[in-house]
Structure 1
Amino acid sequence: MSPESLLDDTQAEKQEVKGYFETTGFERWNRIYSDTDDVNKVQRNIRIGHQKTVDEVLSWIKQSGELRDVSFCDAGCGVGSLSLPLAEMGAGSIDASDISEAMAQEAQRRAEEAGLTMSKLHFFASDLESLRGSFHTVCCLDVFIHYPQPAAEEMVRHLCSLTEQRLIVSFAPYTPLLALLKGIGQLFPGPSKTTRAYTLKETGIVQAAERCGFELVRRSLNKAPFYFSRLIEFRKYRTC
């Protein structure tokens, strides 16, 4: 596939994802990332798995001691699953974005409802490609599932360009077993999504970060039925 065709496909898919999360997807995922019992078994397990990933990220950040007076970018924030607890923990500042304006608005509503200080917490709608700025820590959790391998690696490079010290990403890792499950519809069953879901080869993600002067410092695998997420923390050790 030519670079032009890849770009066209990526743009078309981005519009599909944006449309989904502005309509049917918003209602579905807003319920998944809430306390409501109005979810099916698959959605409940996705909620549990995603929360494991968020909790581990918060634990890593707390252990590092790099929180107060630290700037964060939550790229693909959804309804604020990471941003809100980060703010509650005392993060210096948080820029949180989502491709869906409905998601970003819901995250802000939840933050205001929780009484969080909005002067240090900024929610806005943006795709990953359009993000600009410089942040001590950039987090991008469970977003790359919407990106095929080449586009995901390019996005890692872009996020590295925004990162001063620490980049934390998670993605559904490619394995022969997960490829088989995905192929027969057991990993991402129809009612849970209407956009394509991609598993990614970890070596490509790591190499993309390494080329930008980042090194892998720790990794883990969080899973629940219907949820598999490789979590990696990178640290910058040189300028590109």
Structure 2
Amino acid sequence: MNATDDKTIVKNYFNSTGFDRWRRIYGDGEVNKIQLDIRNGHQQTVDTVLSWLKADNNLAEISICDAGCGVGSLSIPLAADNAKVYASDISDKMVGEAKDRALETLGQKENPTFAVQDLEALSGSYHTVICLDVLIHYPQEKADEMISHLSSLAQSRVILSFAPKTFALSILKKIGSFFPGPSKATRAYLHREVDVVKILEKNGYFVERQSMTRTRFYFSRILEATRK
């Protein structure tokens, strides 16, 4: 399966069965134990990134691009703290849900600005570019292209999360492949941290902060890279 096929599958999945599943996971309604574990893990990743950004004490002064915003789990609290947020997602259903949640939470439509847009089509210039839990859907070569493009949009900082390729996680992924189900509609790609760091450095960034979110069913390595 090539990268183009992966992209088409991701778009179709999150505009159909995947949308209903992940809207529940990223919501606050009743879910099964595995989905609850993933919800908690994803929220930990979002909370880590929020804590980094708030620690700098300049949210009201910066612009942020949230690439692959999903239902707005990160964009909405950033806007609530007065950051200027441009949020996009490949799925029009996800963006529609994000807009509804933003209106319900913030009571206005001006910020965040939401758009249905492929990551590769993003343009503009932003103080900080963030991409959480997106790279897992794409192989390393495509991920390298995405990271390079996101790096070109950032004035100061890029924050990424990805499923790290370790021996233990590779074994777990292999075991999981023997138990296919309707909820596993996209391929899950693990990425070596050294490869992600290498492409960031190639684009003029160095890793300043890092963290790891680890629950029973959710694993995410988070890197904050700033321009050299």
* TM bucket normalised to smaller: over 0.9
Match for 1:144 among 128, 135, 139?
135
Which residue identity is paired with 2:27? Answer: S
Per-residue deviation at 1:118? 2.5
**59 and 186 in structure 1: CA distance in 2 versus 1, 3 angstrom threshold:** farther
Q: Give the structure 2 partner of residue 90 of structure 1.
A: 82
The two structures have a TM-score, normalised by structure 2, of: 0.96
Q: Is 2:133 aligned against 1:133?
A: no
User: 1:136 & 1:227 partners in 2: Cα distance?
Assistant: 29
> CA deviation digits over 1:44-80, x for unaligned, max 9?
1000000000000000000012311210000000000
Letter in 2 for 1:142: D
Gap change, CA 1:128 and 1:224, over 3 Å in 2? same
Report if aligned partners of 1:173, 1:228 keep a CA contact under 8 Å in 2: yes
- Corresponding position: 1:31 with 2:34: no
Residue 20, structure 1, aligned to residue 10, structure 2:
no
1:1-240 equivalences in 2 (<5 Å): 9-37=2-30, 39-91=31-83, 93-185=84-176, 190-237=181-228
Whichever residue aligns with residue 14 of structure 1, its letter is K
Give the Cα–Cα distance (whole angstroms) in 2 for the partners of residues 190 and 164 of structure 1: 42
Q: 1:203 to 1:150 in 2, by over 3 A?
A: same
CA contact (8 A) 1:178 1:187 kept: no
Identity across the alignment (%): 52
Residue 183 of structure 1 aligns with an amino acid whose one-letter code is K
Aligned counterparts of 1:186 and 1:11: Cα–Cα separation in 2: 22
Code of the aligned partner of 1:32: I
User: What residue identity is the alignment partner of 1:143?
Assistant: V
CA positional deviation for 1:192: 3.3
Contact persistence 1:73–1:96 (CA under 8 A): yes
| CA shift in 2, pair 1:191/1:89, >3 Å | same
1:111-143 CA-to-partner distances (Å, cap 9, x unmatched) read: 011134422311111111111111000000010
CA shift digits 1:7-60 (9 cap, x unpaired): x811111011100000000000000000001x1111110000000000000000
Query: Structure 1, unaligned stretches of length 5 or more?
Result: 1-7
CA contact (8 A) 2:137 2:187 kept: yes
Alpha carbons of structure 1 residues 36 and 187: separation in structure 2 relative to 1, 3 Å = farther
- What value does the CA root-mean-square deviation take over the aligned residues? 1.6
> In the TM superposition, what is the alpha-carbon distance from 1:190 to its structure 2 partner?
3.1
- The SS at the match of 1:192 is coil
Unaligned runs of 5+ in 2: none
Q: C-alpha separation between the residues in 2 aligned to 1:97 and 1:233?
A: 20
Distance 2:180 2:75 in 1: 28
Residues 164 and 187 (structure 1), Cα distance of their counterparts in 2 relative to 1, 3 Å cut? farther
SS at match of 1:118: coil
Q: 2: distance between equivalents of 1:188 and 1:119?
A: 44
The SS at the match of 2:61 is: coil
